Structure 1
Amino acid sequence: MLYHSAIGECRHSLFTVLMLLIAVGCVDRVKQAPSRWTVYELDLTSSQEYDNPFWDVAVRVELTAPSGKKHLADAFWDGGRTWRLRFAPDEVGRWSWESDCSDAMNTGLHGRRGTFRCVPYTGDNPLYRHGPLKLSENRRYLVHADGTPFFWLSCTAWNGVLRSSPEDWVNYLRTRREQNFTAIQFVSTHWRGLAKDATGETAFTGTERIRLNPEFFQRLDPKVVAINESGLVAAPVILWTLTETDPGQILSEADAIRLVRYIVARWGGHSVAWFLGGDGRYPPERVDRWKRIGRAVFGDRHERLVTLHPSGRNWVGDDFGEESWFDFIGYQSGHGDSERSLRWLVSGPPATAWQTGPPRPVINLEPNYENHPGYTHHRQFQGADIRRAAYWSLLVSPPAGV
């Protein structure tokens, strides 16, 4: 992480607050040439109305880099007749783009063309200086696009994006940056820990051919932006899937795929690492469903890292290790305090399974939380317990992060 002077910290905080105000509509957007690895946003206006835009029309944009390399990215519906594209250009120079709409008669969304110029990044944010995350050459660690090593040190703010005030979120991110965290894990839609957001609304309604609520995500956008502007990687759980009422279980497979594609289109231009499923048990009867969802969304376009966040003491490396979209093995040593729980971490799959199968980074995405009661002895975990879980996680397998 980078250290700033007091003046630099003040300037950074003011900029983050300004980004929040812009995103909630208090300040007009100013279109300018995007810097390399920052977000270029393109607005398209539909020439037609649709009953359920989330389902009735799909828009994809082909972007051509200065080198001639082609990129495909989905645009997303953002309410009314507005569709947006968010894309992070990885080359400096002149880019061109052309839109393709499933409704070829829609002159506002189909066959639109344009250009923009990408300029070098000159700031000190490590995410924009070095680019998004990818696997190292030996596929054991994480690095930035330019090869700079990246150590995953994340905080689980599951409800942070959903419930925090803008001021609290800025303060939280400032604190985590000062503590040298590098990533923030959070939930993207309503889940067992949040039935509705602060305004009483949900991300969508229904379970088949769902109706999306763009305003729900518009309120989350500025907080996702703020994560990156603080020099931290955003790690959204797309579908929480612990209970039968969570999106990962209650949605039909087609609706789950559609919702994942939407969130990926909305935030995929940012520096993110996707948690496709959150707190899932992924038993054998559900593995194929998750494989199909992963392939449908990330099979042909895979520009950000993807993993799964399993429930406690649930190893998914064996079931998903052959999937091309599954980049690193996440696990949760969890909040058990029995001898069996401790032995699972130091002599179970985290310590042994990484040595077999295709090489992948291994990261404990949820060691025990401070002040969380242990499941067996009900004693609240203290700082020493947290450090022990983190240290053991880094010692039993190649240390990609925790």
Structure 2
Amino acid sequence: MKFLYLISVLFVFSLSVFGQDRAAARVERWERFELTLAGPQTGNPFADVNLSAEFSNGTEKIKVDGFYDGNGQYKVRFMPQKVGEWKYRTISSSKSLNGKTGAFSCIEPGKDNHGPVQVADTYHFKYADGTRYYPFGTTLYAWTHQPEGLEEITLKTLANAPFNKVRMCVFPKYYAHVENEPPYYPYVKKAETKDAKGKPKFQWDFSRFEPAFFQHLEKRIDDLKKLGIEADIIVFHPYDKGHWGFDSLGKENDLKYIRYLTARLASFRNVWWSLANEFDYVKTKPRADWDVYTKAVVNADPYGHLCSIHNGSVYYDNWKPEFTHVSIQNGSTVEDFGRATLLRDVFFKPMVYDEVCYEGDLQQRWGHLSGEEMTEAFWQGVIAGTYVTHGETYKNAGDTIFWAKGGRLIGSSPARIGFLRKILEEAPGPLELSDPWKDHHTSRADSSYYLVYLGKNMQPEWEFSLPRKGGPKAGRKFKVEVIDTWHMTIDERPEVFEIAETNDYRIYDKKRTSIRLPATPYLALRIKEYLE
């Protein structure tokens, strides 16, 4: 019996060391290979043990950091970007972890695996396999710090919502309408007391991470991946107010946290890095330190995931090469025509207006947009060749607000945002203003496809007229669809328009034809080449 028991123990041990490797012997391109090794538990494994691994496919070598995952388990994760055979060798200060070798096969990706999102055509995005990606995001700052039942409701909501990106914090948030204690904390707790008001006060061991916290975060990022949603991970934020102290760890602990976080998450294909939400409101970190933190994240990520930093009142140096795109808080940029494109022309990078105020009924000025105003913001952004992020701040039962905790959506804009997303994804390519100097209503994908947005303006008719710049030659024919962006209807008009010769800045129909428009705001016109 003792012999059988010993055999069973050795079998379980072998699974803990090699089982993950064998199970992952075939890994899709852009998926995760994960190596799990048993190692020392004495002392402080987070501080005392270094682990990394070098992966090679014969032509290139990529080194990635490993991490301690608790209970004597050490892990190394790798996202292969090329199909073929990969070999690895571990490097560690611990003899039991050093020099471990193995191999796996990287196979072609499945139909729902398009790889990480990248920058494309200067101002836009695509997946690594070349598939176009148009960010239609929403805000869920603290959704992973809620009871499991609420988190599951949030995932069900997202499964039926139009959003393909979620802005979310790593650390819990202590702010109006989200002051609950989370189920997990990122650090090991040394002591907990109560203040004069009976609220908890904590002491942490900042040299020891709590693996369960990060395991839970990873599970939710994978849940988003299954839904086709990118996780825009906010590394730091100012909404702590000294309650936990996670916003004031000190530079040394901040960098340790970044190393641990990137070692765990860089291999997730649907991760984006957002260095901070409202970086300038994090008063415990000097502005110069953000360069240090940004470089630490970028240098620890061998896959080049998208990276940005979000502002409060002051923009950061978004032109710096570490930032792949620009994440902006500024509601005025999408309140009217011609504004959204201005910052794009400053930074020459994709513009994502991640905070333009929220649809809801809060008293704060940023929390009570109407559904019409939220929808209008999206159209203003898209027409200008930029992108906008949604958020909802209606009060639900139990003070559950989607923007903070998740739950159910009750606003009227998500359906309209989904309608716009479908229109954009049906276009032959991303939109650009046709004549950004003089016409901020007309956007085009190419000379055969135009989208004109009229906004709040109600006009009785529209004369066929397009900017001449980059426009179609004389003789080409077009048809027009009238889109009601609020009621989500598309009315194809019977008229066929033929382009006339012109020496002006505009292109007209030969007969200078006009079409009647319904007396309603928020109309758009989709103009497509007509091939008989």
Please confirm whether the aligned pair reaches a TM-score higher than 0.5, indicating the same fold: yes
In which range does the TM-score fall when normalised by the shorter chain? 0.7 to 0.9
Contact 1:190–1:196 (CA under 8 A) maintained in structure 2: no
- Give the aligned residue type for 2:345: Q
- Give the aligned residue type for 1:135: V
More helix by share: 1
Offset of 1:55 from its aligned partner?
2.4
- Give the aligned residue type for 1:307: S
Structure 1: segments with no counterpart, 5+ residues: 1-27, 335-341
- Give the aligned residue type for 1:373: L
1:150 aligns with 2:133: yes
1:355 aligns with 2:356: no
What does residue 65 of structure 2 align with? 74
Offset of 1:395 from its aligned partner?
3.8
Larger Rg: 2
SS of the residue corresponding to residue 360 of structure 1 reads: coil
Offset of 1:217 from its aligned partner?
1.5
Tell me the alpha carbon deviations over residues 134-169 of structure 1, each in whole angstroms, 9 at most, x when there is no partner. Answer: 111x3211111122211111121112122142x554
Distance 1:298 1:50, change over 3 A: farther
1:162 aligns with 2:153: no
Distance 1:190 1:58, change over 3 A: farther
1:373 aligns with 2:362: yes
What does residue 458 of structure 2 align with? none
Contact 1:202–1:216 (CA under 8 A) maintained in structure 2: yes
What is the root-mean-square deviation of aligned Cα atoms in Å? Answer: 3.0
Offset of 1:283 from its aligned partner?
8.7
What does residue 87 of structure 1 align with? 78
Distance 1:197 1:79, change over 3 A: farther
Match of 1:230 among 218, 227, 231: 227
SS of the residue corresponding to residue 310 of structure 1 reads: coil
Q: Which has the higher contact order (CA 8 A, sep 6+)?
A: 1
Q: Work out the CA distance in 1 between the residues paired with 2:52 and 2:324.
A: 24
SS of the residue corresponding to residue 327 of structure 1 reads: coil
- Give the aligned residue type for 1:230: L
Structure 2: segments with no counterpart, 5+ residues: 1-18, 189-202, 390-532
Q: Work out the CA distance in 2 between the residues paired with 1:379 and 1:52.
A: 45
How high is the sequence identity, in percent, across the aligned residues?
Answer: 20
Q: Work out the CA distance in 2 between the residues paired with 1:56 and 1:196.
A: 34
Tell me the alpha carbon deviations over residues 20-49 of structure 1, each in whole angstroms, 9 at most, x when there is no partner. Answer: xxxxxxxx9782422121121111222x33
What does residue 506 of structure 2 align with? none
TM-score, normalization by structure 2: 0.59
Q: Work out the CA distance in 2 between the residues paired with 1:203 and 1:291.
A: 24
Q: How does 1:3-402 map to 2 (within 5 A)?
A: 31-32=23-24, 33-46=26-39, 48-65=40-57, 68-101=59-92, 103=93, 106-122=94-110, 124-125=111-112, 128=113, 130-136=114-120, 138-165=121-148, 168-193=150-175, 198-199=182-183, 201-204=184-187, 209-242=206-239, 245=242, 249-270=247-268, 271-281=270-280, 286-299=286-299, 301-303=301-303, 304-311=305-312, 313-316=313-316, 319-322=317-320, 324-333=321-330, 342=332, 350-357=340-347, 359-373=348-362, 375-376=364-365, 380-396=368-384, 398-402=385-389
Distance 1:80 1:283, change over 3 A: closer
TM-score, normalization by structure 1: 0.77
SS of the residue corresponding to residue 210 of structure 1 reads: strand
SS of the residue corresponding to residue 309 of structure 1 reads: coil
Distance 1:330 1:248, change over 3 A: farther
Distance 1:254 1:361, change over 3 A: same
SS of the residue corresponding to residue 343 of structure 2 reads: helix
Contact 2:340–2:386 (CA under 8 A) maintained in structure 1: no
SS of the residue corresponding to residue 359 of structure 2 reads: coil
Contact 2:334–2:356 (CA under 8 A) maintained in structure 1: no
